[in-house]
Structure 1
Amino acid sequence: MSDGLNDARAIRVAEIMTDFRNLQYYLSQLSASPTAEEYYLEGYALLRQCTDEARQILAAPFAGSTASSPSGNPEQEKVQLRRIIVDAAVRRFRCQRAYLRAHAGQRWMNSRNSILRGQKPNASHFSALAAADNALRMELLAITDEHVNNTLRSQDAAQGKWLAEDPSLAQILQILMSR
């Protein structure tokens, strides 16, 4: 017997996928043009890593069942919608994590550019550049899985979204470890 929540599930899929699309758009807009000497610096490597991860997430096939469409059976629709919610939530989680890390990388790049003001790095810049590097490392340490999950849950709850069947952080991490 159907529980009558398939419309809510379908709306939740659309909400999660909209968030995922917005995060993918942001990540696709990242742009950095380091010099050959700067290419391997921590912040630039982080930005490349985040854009690569976004591409991998987008290219990954749907992790739900490969069974045919539910063809109007409410119970089959319920099962399929739940699978889609889980897959979409895992993708959104990964994109949110990449987004937060990329945002930290962007701040690092902006700090670096502000310090250098178009000049080549020299001894007078050393302490300020080291401080920017340390700030990046500290910010990255704060981007824990719990923090990523809390930012998503808080945003969803503030918007009054239906979260009853969203996977827990433990479920998301278990899925990520199994892939």
Structure 2
Amino acid sequence: MGAAAVAVLATAGSAVPWLRQVSVLGVRSGDGPQGLPVNTSAARAGVTASATTAAYRLEVVRGDRTVVLTRDDLAALPQRTETLPIACVEGWSASGTWGGVRLRDVLALVDAPGEVDVVVTSLQESGPFRRTRLPGGFVADDRTLLALRLDGETLALDHGYPARLIAPNRPGVLQTKWVTRLEVV
């Protein structure tokens, strides 16, 4: 009986909106800012203040070389637009038109070779996906972006403002939001 109750709570959010917060396995709709679902909000991740401060900086690191960029610096770099889906382990998939800087171009600022692994760090202070490793194949892909916009609008805070990773064919949970550091390994 207890297992059945847990299963209902884990999936019922697909049909019962007020259960979405506890229904970790429920399929999400397109509800969310900019028409895409959000699993973890900025408030829940504890990044609202750090993501919206004028003091935000992105560190790009390779060995002893570091470049520090503001969001305005990122916006001044050559911009690209890619239509890419986010496929979530919860069972939903949604596409968006993402705009931002090609990740390779950001890493070129520290003379990184084309296909290197990168550790991506979020402003989140804790959690299993605060730091993720992006394999070199994603880094080399022209479609992998440090996204600043979604569907022509500034990226919503809950979608990763000021900057988020978006890469083709990478699980949604690994599309790091609120990126603050890129380190070539």
**TM-score relative to the length of structure 2:** 0.28
Q: Which has the higher helix share?
A: 1
Structure number with higher relative contact order (C-alpha < 8 Å, ≥ 6 residues apart):
1
Rg: which structure is higher? 1
Q: Which has the higher strand share?
A: 2
